[in-house]
Amino acid sequence: MAEVEFVKCDCCGLTEECTPAYIASVREKFEGRWLCGLCSVAVNDETVRSEEDITTNEAMDRHMRFREQFKSSTPPAKPAEELISAVRHLLRKTLESPRKKNGSSTTSFSGSENRFSSMSNEEVST
């Protein structure tokens, strides 16, 4: 499996997992900035649509202005993140219940608290 890195779009802030080679090729194309697939298509579109011959930088500025207008007219929503945290919560409860039956309730409860906080740290780093 190819090595991947997390890279953030300079336009919309979307994070994508990409190979270092792909990240480098995108940066080269957009004057050192990294754009996600959607934004790079949109920036290309700005270049094509423009009557005069605009640079990639100008096309990016136009696209970013467009994004700003779009962003202010729509409320921020992160349904995917909410779903993930809900699923994690559910998983933790499922993991927790069989252990609670064994041993005394007070010690296993505090023990599981430590266990879950270390588990969430692992999830963040991976």
* Shortest reach from residue 54's CB to Zn ion, in Å: 19
Q: Which helix (DSSP H) or strand (DSSP E) does residue 46 occupy? A: helix 37-49
Q: Is 36 in the site for Zn ion (CB under 5 A)?
A: yes
- Residues 54-113 contacting Zn ion, CB under 5 A: none
d(C-alpha 45, C-alpha 66), whole Å: 13
Binding region for Zn ion (CB under 5 A) out of 7-15, 25-33, 85-93, 118-126: 7-15
Q: State how far the Cα of 114 lies from the Cα of 90, in Å rounded to an integer.
A: 17
Applying CB under 5 A, the span of 3-11, 18-26, 72-80, 82-90 interacting with Zn ion comes to 3-11
Stretch that binds Zn ion, among 6-14, 26-34, 47-55, 86-94 (CB under 5 A): 6-14
Neighbours of 12 (CB within 10 A): 16
**HEC states along 4-41?**
CEEEECCCCCCEEEECHHHHHHHHHHCCCCCCCHHHHH
7, 18, 26, 39: residue in contact with Zn ion (rule CB under 5 A): 39
Residues that bind Zn ion (CB under 5 A): 9, 11-12, 14, 36, 39
